[in-house]
Amino acid sequence: MARIIVITSGKGGVGKTTTAAALSMGLAQRGKRTVVIDFDVGLRNLDLIMGCERRVVYDFINVINNESTLNQALIRDKRCDSLYILPASQTRDKDALHKDGVERVLTELADNYDFIVCDSPAGIEHGAYMAMYFADDAIVVTNPEVSSVRDSDRMLGILSSRSKRAETGQEPVREYLLLTRYDPLRVANGAMLSVDDVQDILSLRLLGVIPESKAVLSASNAGIPVILDRESDAGQAYGDMVARYLGDDVPHRFLHPEKKGLFSRIFKG
């Protein structure tokens, strides 16, 4: 039985799709059978970040409408055998995503996978609701910034009152915080909310802190999930995040500005 993870936030542009790509690749690399679904109908970004946009034939909505089978629509990742991508439709309107259809697809996937990662669209409306409804776990992606933290808190309210788990009185959705685009230098200068500031407000399980990093853009340019860039700070931070999600006790890194030595200060300055 697969575990369903939603990557959600409320606010757009905070790093959900980047995270969905990294998490699903990270899980698959550890041998977990993983499928990542793009719920962002109309925008379709995930396949670009995964680098498989030219292999998209059918999409999630085609499967929901019985215009294709699940196997016809699933794209196997070229780098990792246990990872599949179910792309979103670029053309359909959002109402094509409905609860019965989503449930049928998730149920069909659940038998064959360990993890189903749902990449939510922005907002707190229909698409985001569909992405979170069946979730067992929620990774709330948040930037250290007023509107993002506020939207995350609203999303937490929705998860705890309107998810299937809430409605059917099951154990609540397990909620994790992932703080992204974190700039330790600005935090040290008091110009950016710190992890502790955000946790004072949201108080969730902290799954990770992903630094603001040039590696993210360069990975998205190349269609390679940034977690595969092991040299980069963001790649390593995402690697730690996956390990933590699977239960490893990994200390948080990249929280503080890099300390420069005396010599680099004198000679580089």
Partner 1 sequence: MGLLDYFATTRPPQKVGNASIAKERLQILVARDRIARDKPSYLPQLEQEILAVIRKYVEVDMNTVSVKYELAESHEVLELNIILPDSAGPP
Ligand X SMILES: Nc1ncnc2c1ncn2[C@@H]1O[C@H](COP(=O)(O)OP(=O)(O)O)[C@@H](O)[C@H]1O
Question: 11: annotated binding-site residue?
Answer: yes
Nearest distance in Å: CB 267, partner 1? 8
User: Is residue 14 a contact point for ligand X (CB under 6 A)?
Assistant: yes
Q: Which does residue 107 bind out of Mg ion, ligand X, partner 1, none, counting CB within 5 to 8 angstroms by kind?
A: none
3-class SS letters over the chain: CCEEEEEECCCCCCCHHHHHHHHHHHHHHCCCCEEEEECCCCCCCHHHHHCCHHHCCCCHHHHHCCCCCHHHHCEECCCCCCEEEECCCCCCCHHHCCHHHHHHHHHHHHCCCCEEEEECCCCCCHHHHHHHHCCCEEEEEECCCHHHHHHHHHHHHHHHHHCHHHHCCCCCCEEEEEEEEECHHHHHCCCCCCHHHHHHHHCCEEEEEEECCHHHHHHHHHCCCHHHCCCCHHHHHHHHHHHHHCCCCCCCCCCCCCCCCHHHHHHHC
Whether 8 has a binding-site annotation, put simply, is: no
Q: Which does 111 bind (CB under 5 to 8 A by kind): partner 1, Mg ion, ligand X, none?
A: none
- Of 180, 194, 232, 236, the one binding ligand X by CB under 6 A: 180
Q: Which does 18 bind (CB under 5 to 8 A by kind): Mg ion, ligand X, partner 1, none?
A: ligand X
Report whether 142 belongs to an annotated binding site.
Answer: no
Does 217 sit near partner 1 (CB under 8 A)? no
Work out which of 1, 54, 95, 146 binds partner 1, going by CB under 8 A: 146
Within 12-51, which residues bind Mg ion (CB under 5 A)?
A: 16-17, 45
The answer to the question of whether 18 is labelled as a binding residue is yes
103 binds partner 1 (CB under 8 A): no
Catalog residues that contact partner 1 under the rule CB under 8 A: 145-146, 149-150, 153-154, 157, 161, 186-194, 197, 200-201, 262, 265-269
Q: Please enumerate, by residue number, every residue annotated as part of a binding site for ATP.
A: 11-18
Q: Which residues bind ligand X (CB under 6 A)?
A: 9, 12-18, 45, 122, 180-181, 210, 212-213, 216-217, 220, 234
